[in-house]
Structure 1
Amino acid sequence: MKRICSLALLAGLTAGQAYAYDLPTVNLGLTSFLDGGLPAGPGWYAQEYLQNYSASQLNDQNGDKLGLPKSKLHYQVSVTQLSYLSQQRLGNASLGINMLLPWVSRMDMDDGLNHAALKSQSGMGDLMVGPFIQFDPVMGDNGPRFVQRLEFQVNLPTGEYDRNKDINPGSNFWSLDPYWAGTYWFTPKWTASVRFHYLYSFKNSDPSYAFGDVGSTQAGQALHANFASEYALTPQLRVGLNGYWLKQITDTQVDGKDVEGRREQVWAIGPGAMYSFSQDDHLFANAYFEQDVKNRPDGSRVQVRFVHHF
C-alpha cells in the first residue's frame, strides 16, 4: 500500500546526474479510519480502492523542482484487496491473510520535452501478500476501547517493469513492509487510528538505464505511517482528518555502495469521511495534500474505498 505507482527511477538532465525515486510502492493513505480492526468479524472481505494523484512538480533532495521545463505527473490507479479472517485462534487473537493488487490505468508524465527526458508506462503493479494477527478488542463499559493488528507484508515483483522507462507500475525487486495498526476509542463516537510500517527492499538486478552501466541497485530502508481521527455525526456517518508520513532512513546503494542525496520524505494531511450502509458495507472518501516533499513528486491525491464483508 503506496505510493501506488512505483515512481522508481527518474533520469535527470542536470550535469549528467541520474535523478531517481527509488522506493517501491507503499501504502500512503490507502487506509485511514478504524484501521486497527476488521468491521464484521471472521470471514472474507473484498475492498476496492480508486485513487487519483496529481503532482505539479517533481522535487529534488532540497525540496526544489527538478531542472526540467516541466515535471508534472498525473495517474489513476485501482487496488483490489481480498482479506480472510479465519476462526483459527492464537491466544486472544485470530489469524488471517491480506492480498492486494494495484492496476495503474492511466499514467501521464509531462517533462516539457515531449518525453525526451522522462518516459512512463501504465499496467499491473506488484502483488502484496501479508499474513496477519488480528487481536480481540479491549472492551470498556460502553463498547470497544482499543483494537490492534500485526501483519508481515511481502511485496512481490510481479508488476510491469521496463528498465528503459523512468516510471513503472512495478519495482522489479522484492521488499518487506511489515506493520502494526491500532485504533483507540476516546469515546464511543471519537476514535484515532495509526498504522506504522518498516520497509526493507532487496536488490534490483536489472536497474534503470538512468544509473548507467551498473550491476544492481538497492533502495534504502524507510519508515512510513498512516494516521487518522474521526467523529461519528450519526451511527452511519463519520467525518475527520487523515494523513500519512514517509521518511527514508538509509541511503540507496548502487553496486553495494551508498549514494547520498537520494533519501525520500513526505507528509500529507486532509479531510475524510466514512459512511456505513450496514455492518458489512462501508464507503470511505479521503483527500491528501502533500508537504515537505524531498526526492518525490509533490502533489495531492483523492481516493474512494469500498469495503464488503461476505
Structure 2
Amino acid sequence: MHVSLRGNNCISLIKINKGGAVSKYINNDYLVVASSLLLLCSPAQATEAGAVHYPIGANTIMNAVLPMPGNTALYLYVQNYHSNRLNDTKGNSIDKNFSLDVQAVAPRFLHTWEQKLGPFFMTTVVVTPMINIDVNLFGRHEKNAGFGDPSIAPIYLYYVSPGSDFFAYTGVDFYVPVGEYDEDSIANPGLNYWSASPSVNFTWLPSPRVDISATLYAEFNAKNKATGYRSGNTATLDFGMSYRPFLSVPQVRVALQGSAFKQFTDDEQDGSDLPGGNRGQVFSFGPQVSYDLGGGAAILLKYQQEFKAENRPEGNKVWMQAVVPL
C-alpha cells in the first residue's frame, strides 16, 4: 500500500506529491508476508512516497516453520493500522490534522515440494494482498481500496534440524507491480515498481515451552516509471519470544514481539538523491497471544505500538493471523 508523502515540510511534500511521487510515509501496512508460523508459520514506511512492500512486524512467532514436504497451507494475515501522527526527519510531527487508517487482508499460499536439494527442503510461496486506505494529508482526504502488488518466491531453501528444535530458511520474494495505482492519488494499494527482497529466517525451540524467532528482511527497489522516483533500499528485523504458560492448556502461547525498520540508501528523483535522503525508520513493540487449534492450524492476535518514527507515520497495529492446512 502506498500513501504518498515525503519530505521534511509541507511545501516539499506538496511539490513532490503533485507528480505522484511522494514521500516516505505510508506504504504501510499492507500485510504481505514473509513467514511466521504460529500460525504455524506464519502487510509504511519511508521511501516513494515512502513505501515499502514488506509488512513490517508480520513475522514474530515461529518465523521459520513452513509446511513439511508434500504439504500446502494458507497463512492468512489481517491487519488494522491507525496513525494520527506524521513525523519528519527529526521525529517531529508535521501535520496536526494528519490521519491514516489501513485495513489489509493478505492470503499467503505455501507449498513444500517432496524433492530435496542437499539438506534443504524447497518451498514456493505466493501472496495476494487486498488493501483499504483512508488518509488525510495536509487538507487532502482520499479513500481507496483494491489489490496491492502480489509477491512470489519461486524457491525458499528450508532446513529442519534432526531434533526438530531448529528451523531456518532463506530465499527471495519478488513483488510484481500490478496492484491498483494512480500517480495522481495519495492512497494507492499498489506501488508501481518492482522489488526484490532476500530474507533470512530462524526459529529455535530451546525447550518445549519456549520458542525464539527472528526474520531479517531486505528490500531492493526499482524505479517507479510513472514518477521517476526510486525509493531507497530498506532492512527490517522482526522478532519474538513466546512461552506456553499453562501446562494444562499447552495450546496457549503468550509472547513479546516487535520490529525495527531502517532505510539505508537515499530516495532518488530522476536519478538524483533527494536532499537529506528522506530515509525512514520506525520501531515497534507489543504483546501477542496465540492458540494451536490442532491438525497444524493455529490463530494469533497481537498489538504493536510504533515509536521513534522518522520520515513516516507513527501509529499502532492490530493483527489477526491464522494458519490453515490445505
Query: Shared fold by TM > 0.5?
Result: yes
The reply to whether residue 294 of structure 1 matches residue 310 of structure 2 is yes
Find the residue that maps to 1:14 and give its secondary structure.
helix
Match of 1:256 in 2: 271
Q: RMSD of the alignment, in Å? A: 1.9
264-273 vs 31-40, greater mean Cα deviation: 31-40
Tell me the distance in 2 between the aligned counterparts of 1:120 and 1:248.
27
Counterpart contact for 1:10–1:166, Cα < 8 Å: no
Match of 2:34 in 1: none
**Total equivalences in the alignment:** 290
Tell me the distance in 1 between the aligned counterparts of 2:222 and 2:212.
33
TM-score by length of 2: 0.84
- Deviation track 1:75-108 (CA, whole Å, cap 9, x = no partner) reads 111111111111010111111111111111x322
Shift of the 287–41 alpha-carbon distance from structure 1 to 2, 3 Å rule, reads: farther
Q: Which among 36, 45, 70 is matched to residue 42 of structure 1? A: 70
Counterpart residue identity of residue 241, structure 2: S
Match of 1:107 in 2: 133
Following superposition of structure 1 onto structure 2, how do residues 93-104 of structure 1 map, counting pairs within 5 Å? 93-104=120-131
Q: Which among 203, 223, 236 is matched to residue 224 of structure 1? A: 236
Q: Which among 78, 84, 87 is matched to residue 59 of structure 1? A: 87
Following superposition of structure 1 onto structure 2, how do residues 176-187 of structure 1 map, counting pairs within 5 Å? 176-187=196-207
Q: Which runs of 5+ in 1 are unaligned?
A: 208-215
Match of 1:212 in 2: none
Q: How far 1:304 sits from its partner (Å)?
A: 0.4
Shift of the 179–157 alpha-carbon distance from structure 1 to 2, 3 Å rule, reads: same
TM-score by length of 1: 0.88
Tell me the distance in 1 between the aligned counterparts of 2:71 and 2:219.
28
The reply to whether residue 240 of structure 1 matches residue 252 of structure 2 is no
Tell me the distance in 2 between the aligned counterparts of 1:10 and 1:123.
23
Counterpart residue identity of residue 42, structure 1: G
The reply to whether residue 130 of structure 1 matches residue 146 of structure 2 is no
Shift of the 277–40 alpha-carbon distance from structure 1 to 2, 3 Å rule, reads: farther
Following superposition of structure 1 onto structure 2, how do residues 54-203 of structure 1 map, counting pairs within 5 Å? 54-66=82-94, 68-104=95-131, 106-111=132-137, 113=139, 115=140, 119-140=142-163, 144-203=164-223
Shift of the 290–58 alpha-carbon distance from structure 1 to 2, 3 Å rule, reads: same
Counterpart residue identity of residue 218, structure 1: R
Counterpart contact for 1:87–1:94, Cα < 8 Å: yes
Tell me the distance in 1 between the aligned counterparts of 2:294 and 2:68.
10
Q: How far 1:111 sits from its partner (Å)?
A: 3.6
The reply to whether residue 33 of structure 1 matches residue 61 of structure 2 is yes
Find the residue that maps to 1:178 and give its secondary structure.
strand
Q: How far 1:17 sits from its partner (Å)?
A: 5.0
Shift of the 39–283 alpha-carbon distance from structure 1 to 2, 3 Å rule, reads: farther
Counterpart contact for 2:197–2:220, Cα < 8 Å: yes
Counterpart residue identity of residue 255, structure 1: D
Counterpart contact for 1:120–1:165, Cα < 8 Å: no
Find the residue that maps to 1:109 and give its secondary structure.
strand
Find the residue that maps to 1:240 and give its secondary structure.
strand
Tell me the distance in 2 between the aligned counterparts of 1:245 and 1:150.
19
Q: Which runs of 5+ in 2 are unaligned?
A: 17-21, 25-47
Q: How far 1:41 sits from its partner (Å)?
A: 4.9
Tell me the distance in 2 between the aligned counterparts of 1:39 and 1:241.
24
Tell me the distance in 2 between the aligned counterparts of 1:275 and 1:76.
23
Q: How far 1:109 sits from its partner (Å)?
A: 1.5
34-43 vs 145-154, greater mean Cα deviation: 34-43
- Deviation track 1:16-72 (CA, whole Å, cap 9, x = no partner) reads 653611233213122221111126553111122111000021111111112x34111
Q: How far 1:260 sits from its partner (Å)?
A: 3.0
Match of 1:213 in 2: none
Find the residue that maps to 1:49 and give its secondary structure.
strand
